[in-house]
Chains A and B, each alone.
Chain A
Amino acid sequence: MVREGGYEMTQDFTRDKPIYSQLVDIICGDILKGKLQPGDKMQSVREYSLEVGVNVNTVQRVYKELESMELTETKRGQGTFITSEEGRILRLREDMKVKLVNQFLQSIAAFGFSREEIVQILQREEGTQ
């Protein structure tokens, strides 16, 4: 995310998903981690394009998507801001948790593990930390 002091290498993308949805995920992650706070002003489309090295049209789509998810709001003449509705962010947190757990359950099922043995390992990991 650093822009001072020369070029930051651009974002690397996985090949299996559209770039715009990977960027939406990255921004959701920044919101959940608190790197982007409620009410924070987002970079302009072009600034963000430059930072991640992605087409302006694609970033436009990212901003539209975030807006339709009600995670951001655009104030005319002022720019785009992270929503200040904490409830919406809490909901994103819950949704993301469920999504990650579902992905995880699918992948352990694909390898034929039972939930019980996985839970055992999770608890053991918890104990060592």
Chain B
Amino acid sequence: MLRTLILRVENRPGALARITGLFSARGINIESLTVARTEDPTLSHMTIVVDLDDVALEKLVKLLDRLVDVVTVTVVDTREAVERELLLLKVRQEPGQKLELLKEAELFRARVVDVAPHSYVLEVTGDEDKLEAFIRVFEKYGILEVVRSGKVALARG
């Protein structure tokens, strides 16, 4: 089951390696990972998505918490956190399909961020379900490339 971890960590060299080392040493694959500075420049905010059962997750959280560089670690689900991901999609643009394509992009509040003679790049943000749906809808036009930022999550309240 996919689980989302939110970490606040010291913004220092080695911190990321120390954290990811705990996963790799145990053969746990990271589904997505984002790191960036926070309102406090000495702290980074990290969102990690992993596929783990409850028992394995509990052990992993304790190991993360044990790291000196990890200030806080929490496991959140969609009810407790706002989760967003950014997706860029390069889609084929055939003559005659332009209007329909733009209309469908509009439905997802996607924006066109690059226009080339035969393709568009669309930008969209949302949660997992919305992005999956977005990809499904645009498959019929011919997807050339998709890139996702990985999820960022922030606890509610």
- A pairs with B: no
